[in-house]
Amino acid sequence: MKTTTGWGYVIKNNDKIIIKQSIIPVIQNEKSFETEAEALKVGNLVLEKLKSQTSPTITKKDLILLSIKT
């Protein structure tokens, strides 16, 4: 999803919003993702975590592994 300062992501289940993330999680600054591709990478990781029934929490290590600019 487009935000006023960049990109974020929404995860839905049967049209019900489960997660709406407009800023990069786990960093100190409130900053949106710079590109749609970055938001999709993290959103897809969160979705995979949910599907595998693990915590959808994103870590700094996840951001580094996905090459997300913070």
Nearest to 3 by CA among 25, 31, 27, 45: 31
| Amino acid at position 42, single letter | V
Alpha carbon distance, N-terminus to C-terminus of the chain: 18
14-54, pLDDT tens digit by residue? 999 999 999 999 998 899 999 999 999 999 999 999 999 99
Per-residue model confidence (pLDDT) at position 70: 83
Q: Give yes or no for a contact between 34 and 2, defined as CB atoms under 8 angstroms apart.
A: no
pTM: predicted TM-score of the whole model, two decimal places: 0.90
**Phi first, then psi: what are they for 20, rounded to 5°?**
-125, 110
